[in-house]
Chain A
Amino acid sequence: MLFAPELILLLGSLLLFIFTLTANNNHARKMAVLIGIAASIVSIASINQNGFLFFKAYQIDMFSQLFKVLITISMTVVLLFSNEMKDITPRMKPEYYLFLVLSSLGLVMLVSSVELITLFVALELSSFSLYLMVPMRDDREGLRTQMEAGVKYIMFAVMTTGIMLFGMSYLFGLTGTTYLSEIADLLPKLIKEPAAIVGIAMVLSGFLFKLAVFPFHFWVPDVYQGAANETTSFIASVPKLGAVAILIRITMLAAPEGTMIVKLLVICAICSMFYGNLAALVQKDIKRLLGFSGIAHAGFVLLGLLTLQQEGYATSIFYIVGYVLMNMACFLVLCQVSKKGENIEIADLSGLYHRSPLMAFTLATGMMALAGIPPFVGFMGKFMLLAGALQAKQLTLVILAALNTAIAIYYYLSVLKVAYCDQPTATDAIEVNFTTKALSIALILAIITMGVIPEQMLTIANQAVAALL
């Protein structure tokens, strides 16, 4: 059953499609959660599968299966904590879940794709679902910000998709094949040619867009702000897993002579970190803040990729998993604090400690981890990324990255300060249901455990990358 996780998601989305016809809102959500849980279980069960499908365009190995596990679990977590999808237009709820599952399906297929056309189709499947989910927010205030966000998202995405396709045609033109493994065999001889560099760089841009790396970050703040809280929770975490997986596959094409590609990545990393952190300093809307912080973290992830070595790739995987965990911890809190699905400003979090100690603690753990303070996972990830980059002789980059950690502290701390030290503006306690409580405790434990005992996850990540080489 090489195709089992995909099959579950595919059948699930078909089921959800039937729901859209009957329009029974509550059942749609339960169904989506069930699909998520089933897909997670099946992908965990099939983690050791190996093989090829579809004329070798689709590869099942440790690497792809690990990412499938991560993607399906993250999707389920988002579904679980976003209880009622408060700000999704009610009549669209079944469709919303349908696209959510479809987008995950696209991502799950993406991480297994080892051929350019398959890669493109999978990417578009996941992306188009997202383009549709963004404007589905209930337009309560009549501002139509979600429309603006949706349009921006799709416009920028179409542009980068075009660039990516163009790049793919370069690679095809140079090597005469669309299979990544064959390209990898032929490319080392051609890597000094401008066409090859341009080709790889253009293909990379499509996925750098997904990861929100500078200069492909333009969509982030508006989409994060304009989309519903739950949608943003999804966009901010799950697609990034897929993006990292493919970035690893593509950068591997450049190894080990691709110094030009490394240079490009270094520049992207530095710009992302500075732009993300400096812009985050002045944000008031917490989703925008997390968006900019995400841009900065994407820069950090590149630190592992640009080493072009197994350890670096493994650290990148470790880091992105950690990032998804801490990001989810923050979004979980936002979804609870936002009563009617409205956007949350930092000021709205004031005195959160008095309203719900658990939510405040979850937020604190997430923020501290994002800031890279030990003993949380964010520190371990940063530490290993910096070590790897230093080993790759990128001293300037490492110092700039370290400097960025210090800048970032300020805005993460300000959020904490508001939550713990300020007096509450709204005094009512925040009601948190059992699932959310359990989820937040699980997230806190995961963030701390991965920070204190990173070995297990690292080993898995290393094995996954080793499966690629």
Chain B
Amino acid sequence: MDFLVMNEGFPLLSVLIFMPLAGALVTMFLPSESAARAWALIVTTACALLSISLYTGFDASTAQYQFGEHHPWISQWNINYTLGVDGISLLLILLTTMIMPFCVLASWNYIAKRVKAFMVCLMVMECAMIGVFAALDFVLFYILWEAMLIPMYLIIGIWGGPRKIYASIKFFIYTLAGSVMLLVAIIALYLTSAPHTFSIPMLMGGQYSSTFQLLVFLAFFLAFAIKVPMFPFHTWLPAAHVEAPTAGSVILASILLKMGTYGFLRFCLPITPLATITLMPYILWLSVVAILYGGFTALAQKDMKKLIAYSSVGHMGFVTLGIFVLNVQGIEGAILQMINHGVTTGALFLCVGMIYERTHSRELDQASGIGKQMPIFVTFLAFFSLSSLAFPGTNSFIGEFLILAGGFSRNLIIAGAAIPGAILAAAYMLRMLQKVIWGGVDNPKQKLNDLNGREMVILAPFLLFVFWIGLGPEPFLSVMHTSVAHLLEQVASAANSTAVVGLMP
């Protein structure tokens, strides 16, 4: 257990994981729907506040997993309940806990039927999502990874738009089909390791033959690439995004997609380094294709949610690009971009939700020219759009800059090919912004109210993070630095022991 700094006393991670679950159980017994709303807000906010102590108590100088908890679970199979965070998962847990209260707030009026059940779904989701980022045992990880699908399926399937059934089943089957192969890979790793273990950190140190690594990598890749989603596994995403209610879209974009890239970082790189290095060029090209494809498709969208969904494909392409260039800037940029995308795209989906609550349409044409009636709203929207297109001074700029810097030091052609993606982002975002603020003023429309207090409270923190990360990213980068360096060491040491030395920086 030398990889794990054991937790003395308060089991912070377990509390963070099970608090929402306990909250969900309590919700079932609450008397009214408004009580359920308030209760969900209390629970998620408490979780968010509690998670801050994760950040303050984190020692950024070591790459060990911290806040560790370790209990035997199913001893016959050597399955344990092991939790711990490093600099990478810490940020993602924080992102999760911070986003959740806003998802509750965004559903305040938007969700009108079966409010209780909705809040239960949200809280169960939170439990599973925090758990996925904190799990250090493969079986625990897999169980939480899959368990997350059920509440999301229900969120889309019950509270979604007109084609909700189609979208939810497609979402479920796609992600599940990917993850069953993940399960096979996990079992294969277990059987190959000696002594047999499901412990993720222990498996990272294992020596596996290159053929075995390749097979495991491909199984991993299928599961994670579907989740990200990478081109050509992305087809479930637009449907799911468009049909999901606002909170569902926010969770999908901000957190669920990150699980795929988190999987690449946590499993593919350290456990199958040789396969990662062998397949790196192909995945980089695939990322470039995703960036360009996402950009072009977003440009053609008339539905705002679809536009943002396709832009996500592009943005996540940048993240995978950053991960697989396999150097410090690239990976740090990728992790930061994961957070950025969570903040920015989450906020954009919230904005679309607010428009939808007023106009009952997500069509860009229907929303055109609302700038005059809703000046505060469009100000927010403008900032988030600028952030999405990586305007200097906003968060995404730092992320994309680091990724491209990492990319250029790896391969000039690939990084160069990704550049038009940034320009495309500017094109589709500005097109949307232009239409919403100034387009078709004579559009006959009912009187639209500008943002109310609750809505401003929802959007303001996102804006804060956009500029905080944009202007002073140091607190975010410093947390992950040691962990990322350690990750690259793991890959490099595996590479050095074989003939592929020349590839490493």
Contacts and interface: CB of A to CB of B under 8 A. Distances in A.
A378 B180 CA distance: 14
Given A390-B187, A390-B188, A455-B74, 19 more contacts: A373-B149, A373-B150, A374-B144, A374-B146, A379-B143, A383-B183, A387-B77, A387-B187, A398-B187, A399-B181, A399-B184, A405-B180, A406-B177, A409-B172, A410-B173, A413-B169, A417-B157, A421-B165, A458-B74
A402 B146 contact: no
A409 B76 contact: no
Interface in B123-138: none
Contacts of A386: 183-184, 187
Interface in A341-392: 368, 373-375, 379, 383-384, 386-387, 390-391
Contacts of B188: 390
B105 interface: no
Nearest to B160: A421
Contacts of A391: 191
B165 A417 contact: yes
29 contacts: A368-B150, A374-B143, A374-B146, A375-B143, A375-B147, A379-B143, A383-B183, A384-B77, A386-B183, A387-B187, A387-B191, A390-B184, A398-B184, A398-B187, A402-B180, A402-B181, A402-B184, A403-B180, A405-B180, A406-B173, A406-B176, A409-B176, A410-B169, A417-B169, A420-B154, A421-B164, A421-B165, A453-B74, A454-B74
Interface of A: 368, 373-375, 379, 383-384, 386-387, 390-391, 398-399, 402-403, 405-406, 409-410, 413-414, 417, 420-421, 453-455, 458-459, 462
A421 to B, nearest CB: 5
B150 A387 contact: no
B6 interface: no
Interface in B143-176: 143-144, 146-147, 149-150, 153-154, 157-158, 164-165, 168-169, 172-173, 176
A326 to B, nearest CB: 15
Interface in B180-202: 180-181, 183-184, 187-188, 190-191
Tell me the dominant secondary structure on chain A's binding face.
helix
Nearest to B148: A374
Nearest to A389: B187
A334 B459 CA distance: 47
A221 to B, nearest CB: 24
A419 to B, nearest CB: 11
Interface of B: 73-77, 139, 142-144, 146-147, 149-150, 153-154, 157-158, 164-165, 168-169, 172-173, 176-177, 180-181, 183-184, 187-188, 190-191
A50 to B, nearest CB: 24
Contacts of A387: 77, 187, 190-191
Nearest to B74: A455
A414 B157 CA distance: 11
Contacts of A403: 180
Nearest to A414: B169
B263 to A, nearest CB: 17
Nearest to B164: A421
Given A373-B147, A413-B153, A420 B158 contact: yes
Contacts of B158: 420-421
The list of the 3 closest CB pairs from A to B, nearest first, reads: A374-B143, A406-B177, A402-B180
B464 to A, nearest CB: 37
B274 to A, nearest CB: 20
Contacts of B139: 383
Contacts of A459: 76
A150 B235 CA distance: 48
A455 B184 contact: no
Contacts of B165: 417, 421
Contacts of A462: 76
Nearest to A391: B191
Contacts of A420: 154, 157-158
A392 to B, nearest CB: 10
B76 A458 contact: yes
Contacts of A455: 73-76
Contacts of A373: 146-147, 149-150, 176
A405 B183 CA distance: 11
A390 B169 CA distance: 29
A390 B183 contact: no
A281 to B, nearest CB: 12
A337 B224 CA distance: 40
A375 B127 CA distance: 13
A455 B81 CA distance: 13
A386 B204 CA distance: 22
Contacts of A379: 143, 146
A388 to B, nearest CB: 9
A375 B190 CA distance: 20
A390 to B, nearest CB: 5
A405 B181 CA distance: 10
Contacts of A374: 142-144, 146-147
Contacts of B146: 373-374, 379
Q: Which of A374, A403, A405, A455 has the most CB of B within 10 A?
A: A374
Nearest to A405: B180
Contacts of A409: 172-173, 176
Contacts of B190: 387
A420 to B, nearest CB: 6
A374 B135 CA distance: 15
Contacts of A384: 77
A462 B76 CA distance: 10
B394 to A, nearest CB: 39
Contact of A421 (B147, B150, B157): B157
Contacts of B144: 374
Nearest to A403: B180
Contacts of B149: 373
Nearest to A451: B143
Contacts of B154: 420
Contacts of A406: 173, 176-177, 180
A368 B158 CA distance: 17
Nearest to B156: A421
A383 B183 CA distance: 8
A375 B76 CA distance: 18
A405 B180 CA distance: 8
Nearest to B75: A455
A417 B160 CA distance: 13
Contacts of B184: 386, 390, 398-399, 402
Given A399-B184, A406-B180, A390 B157 contact: no
Nearest to A458: B76
Contacts of B173: 406, 409-410, 413
Contacts of A421: 157-158, 164-165
A413 B174 CA distance: 13
Contacts of B73: 455
Nearest to B159: A421
Contacts of A398: 184, 187
